[in-house]
């Protein structure tokens, strides 16, 4: 790939990096800055300025620093979180590492509409869960510009809506805290190539940071290319008590996620796809201004304003849900055999423009034994959404050939308005005891306006208001210089998004990624979390042990009615409970870490759910023909009970550094098997489960002369065949991949997300 195929911003950054040494010498800034003692603090709210020493936080906070981020190379953010953070599992439900579901303690942040969202994600204090469905687009986060990541567990009310299982807080680099330039390039398996560059410098009291990334990948599966271009810029200013950061994030991405594969096709060839195309394009611009003013030595006023705009287009080639039972069902001429039928397949397109804006204001004060803060936030969004369907037929490669013009199915405007007030206080009655209390009140209004059928009943018009007061209480107690006990309880809530309110009628299921019908009211989700544990440090050893439980009321789940249709519904109560154990140490030339988590995510209420591809559907007299009955105690799909993560780095000398990391996960149930009762037999194929698996990755890093560094990494060293997620679905294709024109011959199968095979990547890095 030539340099000309990469964005021009990378060339600009490369030029800046080339001339940086001369600029630095001209400014006389090459003198050594003395190192200061490191005080490890963690932000306990999205707004900067409310930091707390890690040892006083009553929860198992995990962090990734610059070194961990650098050693991750060009790994996507989900890959990095999966390998480095305990309790995190990743489901590659879309078959693309940028489009993975990230699960933490049984709660999910996903780019896929229809996945129940339970984690809030922030970039420099700006909530980046999309307003239309609370989804998270990992491809829009500037990987090169990240300076640190904090994962805060539990229903922490300070992080606002959607913080049911935790919050992921991402911090970006600044020209005031680092200087220099970096150029990186990587080449490897399956056509992967990437180039990144960043530049940071300081002129007087003004800091400048610029970063750009161009990523290309052909994908290891058929017809799976992806493109990710990112740019990030930040101007920082410090003048006495005033601090300001003006940042701009731009991303332009084109992703192919060919999704799940039925077992019968998977066994023939793992690189195959089910249907195509499956494409998502995003174009993002985010501008934010963070400001802080020290009123005195102990009091600070912090403010944040932002504007975010994301244009998304999706194109999904699917089986046409209208074919089964139609006039052409069973006709040998269907799917173009005699040239007349064009309803076996469909290209579903969506177009959305999401605009969000808002701000926050916070006052905080730090005394010797008290840390208190008050604040207010306001956020608003407006989304224009439309969906079209174009019927067609399948070609020999299961791609959709259009047979006619597009039909407009839905056109909707969804808006949200949220304002919140919050307060928190950490009081230390003694040197060894810290008590933290927090309170947040959320008020949200969600409206939907049907533009396809304005003023015609029934339609998608809706206007709903949700309010909630969420408290939390936590305690840390230093039992000895080496051991600290902690405990906390908290409550969080999530209001239904416009897409959920517009797709909640079981009589009118929606097509993913979303056709909509007139729908009933949905209740907001409320989660209550308890956590308690011990942590400590003795010499080079660090360890943490915690137990937790989280109860959801009125959980919102997407209930599938076919491979591409379903609806959102409140399904009562669910619970996540478990155990988390962490340990790390540095002994001699070896650094190692180990993490084990046990997460049992289960339903706590009985309900009937549509699942026609489950072998037990229609067998319970309390449910309809295509429904299954879930009982209290049935495990939620997609969440393994056990996970184990091991990692080690060994320094051979000043130049060579070797690394190894391994992850292992126990079996999990697939979507559609929520009652855990699916069994193979007859026309039902597959177990309804994803088997346990483990993967080993190896790497090496060598420092060369004049700031150069070379790397190599091997993922999935033993080339293990595994799957990270799955779902029950109907397969209309025979073993040769040909469409079966009679739906009576279709099979009910377990579809899985096959894991990537062995891959080798080579990298080169220049630090100036």
pLDDT digits (tens, 9 = 90+) for 190-202: 999 999 999 999 9
Q: pLDDT at position 53, please?
A: 87
**pLDDT grade for 322, boundaries at 50, 70 and 90:** confident
Collapse the DSSP code of 757 into the 3-class scheme (helix H, G, I; strand E, B; otherwise coil) and give the result. coil
16 phi/psi in degrees, rounded to 5: -60, -40
Do the Cβ atoms of 78 and 91 come closer than 8 Å?
no
Written as six digits, the tokens of 606 are 């009985």
**pLDDT grade for 32, boundaries at 50, 70 and 90:** very low
Range scoring the smallest mean pLDDT among 105-114, 591-600, 718-727: 105-114
DSSP letter assigned to residue 395: -
**pLDDT grade for 59, boundaries at 50, 70 and 90:** very high
Written as six digits, the tokens of 697 are 């990755």
Cα–Cα distance, 664 to 305 (Å, whole number): 42
**pLDDT grade for 738, boundaries at 50, 70 and 90:** confident
Do the Cβ atoms of 665 and 643 come closer than 8 Å?
yes
Q: pLDDT at position 95, please?
A: 85
Q: pLDDT at position 339, please?
A: 62
- Taking residues 118-125, what's their average pLDDT? 96
Answer yes or no: is pLDDT of 16 > 70. no
Q: pLDDT at position 575, please?
A: 96
Could you tell me the strand order of the sheet in which 101-104 lies?
88-91, 101-104, 107-109
Pairing of strands 627-630, 642-651: unpaired
Collapse the DSSP code of 393 into the 3-class scheme (helix H, G, I; strand E, B; otherwise coil) and give the result. strand
- Taking residues 133-153, what's their average pLDDT? 94
- Taking residues 453-481, what's their average pLDDT? 88
Do the Cβ atoms of 79 and 102 come closer than 8 Å?
no
Cα–Cα distance, 390 to 539 (Å, whole number): 65
Q: pLDDT at position 182, please?
A: 95
Give the model confidence (pLDDT) of 250-264 as tens digits: 999 999 988 899 999
- Bridge partners, 759 (sequence order): 715
SS3 assignment for 454-499: CCCCCCCCEEEEEEEEEEEEEEEEEEECCEEEEEEEEEEEECCCHH
**pLDDT grade for 12, boundaries at 50, 70 and 90:** very low
Number of Cβ within 10 Å of residue 33's Cβ equals 7
453 phi/psi in degrees, rounded to 5: -125, 60
**Residue 34: exposed, middle, or buried by beta-carbon count in 10 A (0-12, 13-18, 19+)?**
exposed
- Taking residues 752-761, what's their average pLDDT? 95
Answer yes or no: is pLDDT of 122 > 60. yes
Cα–Cα nearest to 667, from 649, 691, 703:
691
DSSP H or E segment with residue 441: strand 433-450
Number of Cβ within 10 Å of residue 191's Cβ equals 15
Give the model confidence (pLDDT) of 494-539 as tens digits: 888 777 776 666 655 554 443 323 334 678 999 999 999 999 998 8
Cα–Cα distance, 616 to 635 (Å, whole number): 16
Cα–Cα nearest to 272, from 281, 262, 282, 286:
262
Strongest mean pLDDT among 126-135, 171-180, 263-272, 303-312? 303-312
Q: What is the mean pLDDT of the chain?
A: 88
Phi-psi region of 17 (alpha: psi -120 to 50; beta: other; left: phi over 0): alpha
Q: pLDDT at position 566, please?
A: 60
Answer yes or no: is pLDDT of 3 > 50. no
- Bridge partners, 658 (sequence order): 650, 700
Answer yes or no: is pLDDT of 748 > 60. yes
Q: pLDDT at position 30, please?
A: 40
Higher pLDDT, 31 or 474: 474
Written as six digits, the tokens of 38 are 């490191």
Could you give the C-alpha distances from 721 to 73, 175, 351, in angstroms and in order?
Answer: 24, 44, 36
SS3 assignment for 291-323: EEEECCCCEEEEEEEEEEEEEEEEEEEEECCCC
Cα–Cα distance, 102 to 90 (Å, whole number): 5
Answer yes or no: is pLDDT of 303 > 90. yes
Do the Cβ atoms of 218 and 190 come closer than 8 Å?
yes
**CB hemisphere CA count around 419 (13 angstroms):** 2
Do the Cβ atoms of 349 and 322 come closer than 8 Å?
no
Cα–Cα nearest to 438, from 167, 711, 82, 70:
167
- Taking residues 721-732, what's their average pLDDT? 93
**pLDDT grade for 175, boundaries at 50, 70 and 90:** very high
- Taking residues 456-464, what's their average pLDDT? 77
Q: pLDDT at position 19, please?
A: 40
- The domain made up of 3-767 is a member of CATH 2.40.170.20: yes
Q: pLDDT at position 139, please?
A: 96
DSSP H or E segment with residue 584: strand 574-587
End-to-end CA gap in the chain: 25
Answer yes or no: is pLDDT of 90 > 70. yes
Q: pLDDT at position 565, please?
A: 55
Q: pLDDT at position 40, please?
A: 75
Q: In the chain, what percentage of residues exceed pLDDT 70? A: 90
DSSP H or E segment with residue 83: helix 77-84
86 phi/psi in degrees, rounded to 5: -70, 145
DSSP letter assigned to residue 402: E
E-strand ranges in 561-666 read 565-570, 574-587, 590-603, 607-610, 627-630, 642-651, 656-665
DSSP letter assigned to residue 326: S
Collapse the DSSP code of 144 into the 3-class scheme (helix H, G, I; strand E, B; otherwise coil) and give the result. helix
Do the Cβ atoms of 497 and 130 come closer than 8 Å?
no
Q: pLDDT at position 36, please?
A: 44
- Taking residues 370-378, what's their average pLDDT? 95
Per-residue burial over 1-22, b if 16 or more Cβ lie within 10 Å, else e, is eeeeebbebbeebbebbeebee
Q: pLDDT at position 292, please?
A: 95
Q: pLDDT at position 338, please?
A: 63
Give the model confidence (pLDDT) of 560-600 as tens digits: 554 445 666 777 899 999 999 999 999 889 999 999 999 99
Could you tell me the strand order of the sheet in which 261-262 lies?
261-262, 747-754, 723-731
Written as six digits, the tokens of 360 are 């926050």
- Taking residues 284-291, what's their average pLDDT? 98
Do the Cβ atoms of 608 and 623 come closer than 8 Å?
yes
């Amino acid at each position: 790939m030539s340099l000309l195929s990469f964005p021009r911003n990378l060339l600009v950054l490369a030029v800046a990096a080339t001339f940086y040494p001369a600029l630095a010498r001209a400014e006389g800034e090459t003198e050594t800055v003395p190192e200061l003692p490191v005080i490890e603090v963690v932000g306990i709210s999205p707004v900067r300025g409310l930091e707390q020493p890690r040892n006083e936080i009553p929860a198992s906070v995990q962090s990734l620093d610059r070194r961990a981020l650098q050693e991750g190379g060009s790994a996507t953010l989900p890959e990095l979180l999966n390998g480095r953070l305990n309790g995190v599992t990743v489901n590659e439900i879309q078959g693309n590492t940028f489009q993975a579901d990230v699960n933490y303690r049984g709660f999910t942040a996903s780019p896929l509409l229809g996945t129940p969202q339970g984690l809030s994600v922030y970039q420099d204090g700006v909530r980046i869960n999309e307003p239309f469905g609370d989804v998270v687009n990992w491809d829009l986060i500037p990987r090169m510009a990240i300076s640190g990541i904090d994962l805060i567990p539990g229903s922490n009310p300070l992080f606002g809506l959607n913080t049911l299982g935790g919050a992921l807080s991402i911090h970006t680099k600044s020209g005031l805290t680092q200087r220099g330039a970096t150029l990186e390039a990587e080449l490897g398996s399956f056509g992967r190539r990437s180039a990144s560059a960043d530049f940071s410098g300081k002129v007087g009291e003004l800091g400048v940071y610029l970063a750009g990334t161009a990523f290309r990948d052909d994908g290891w599966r058929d017809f799976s290319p992806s493109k990710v271009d990112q740019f990030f810029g930040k101007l920082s200013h410090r003048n006495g008590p005033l601090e300001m950061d003006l940042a701009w994030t731009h991303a332009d991405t084109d992703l192919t996620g060919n999704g799940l594969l039925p077992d019968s096709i998977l066994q023939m060839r793992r690189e195959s796809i089910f249907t195509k195309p499956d494409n998502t394009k995003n174009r993002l611009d985010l501008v934010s201004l963070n400001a802080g003013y020290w009123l005195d030595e102990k009091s600070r006023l912090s403010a944040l304003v932002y504007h975010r705009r994301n244009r998304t287009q999706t194109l999904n080639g699917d089986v046409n849900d209208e074919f089964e039972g139609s006039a052409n069902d069973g006709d040998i001429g269907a799917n173009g055999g005699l040239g007349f039928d064009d309803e076996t397949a469909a290209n579903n397109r969506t177009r959305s423009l999401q605009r969000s804006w808002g701000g926050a204001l916070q006052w905080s004060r730090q005394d010797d034994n008290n840390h208190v803060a008050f604040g207010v936030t306001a956020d608003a969004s407006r989304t224009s959404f439309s969906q079209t369907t174009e019927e067609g037929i399948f070609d020999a490669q299961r791609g959709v050939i259009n047979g006619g013009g597009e039909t407009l199915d839905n056109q909707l405007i969804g808006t949200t308005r949220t304002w919140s007030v919050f307060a928190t206080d950490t009081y230390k009655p003694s040197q060894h005891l810290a008590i933290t209390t927090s309170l947040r009140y959320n008020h949200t209004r969600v409206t939907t306006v049907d533009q396809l059928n304005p003023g015609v009943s029934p339609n998608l018009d809706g206007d709903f208001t949700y309010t909630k007061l969420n408290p939390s209480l936590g305690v840390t107690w230093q039992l000895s210089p080496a051991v600290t006990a902690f405990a906390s309880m908290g409550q969080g809530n999530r209001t239904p998004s416009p897409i959920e309110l517009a797709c909640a009628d079981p009589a009118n299921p929606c097509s993913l990624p979303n056709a909509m019908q007139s729908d009933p009211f949905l209740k907001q989700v409320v989660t209550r979390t308890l956590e308690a544990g011990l942590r400590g440090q003795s010499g080079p050893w660090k360890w943490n042990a915690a137990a937790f439980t989280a109860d959801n009321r009125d959980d919102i789940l997407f209930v599938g009615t076919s491979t591409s249709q379903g609806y959102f519904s409140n399904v009562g109560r669910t619970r996540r409970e478990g155990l988390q154990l962490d340990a790390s140490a540095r002994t001699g030339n070896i650094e190692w870490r180990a993490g084990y988590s046990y997460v049992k995510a289960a339903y706590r209420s009985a309900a009937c759910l549509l699942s026609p591809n489950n072998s037990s559907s229609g067998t319970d007299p309390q449910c309809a023909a295509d429904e299954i009955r879930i009982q209290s105690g049935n495990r939620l799909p997609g969440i393994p009970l056990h996970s184990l993560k091991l990692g080690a780095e060994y320094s051979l000398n000043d130049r060579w550094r070797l690394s190894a990391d391994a992850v292992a996960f126990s079996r999990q149930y697939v979507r559609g098997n929520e009652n855990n009762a699916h069994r193979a037999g007859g026309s039902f194929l597959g177990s309804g489960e994803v088997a346990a698996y483990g993967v080993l990755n190896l790497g090496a890093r060598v420092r060369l002369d004049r700031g150069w560094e070379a790397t190599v990494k091997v993922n999935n060293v033993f080339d293990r065949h595994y799957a990270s997620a799955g779902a029950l679905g109907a397969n209309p294709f025979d073993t040769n991949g040909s469409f079966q024109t009679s739906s009576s011959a279709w099979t009910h199968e377990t579809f899985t997300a096959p894991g990537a095979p062995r891959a080798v990547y080579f990298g080169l890095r220049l630090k100036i």
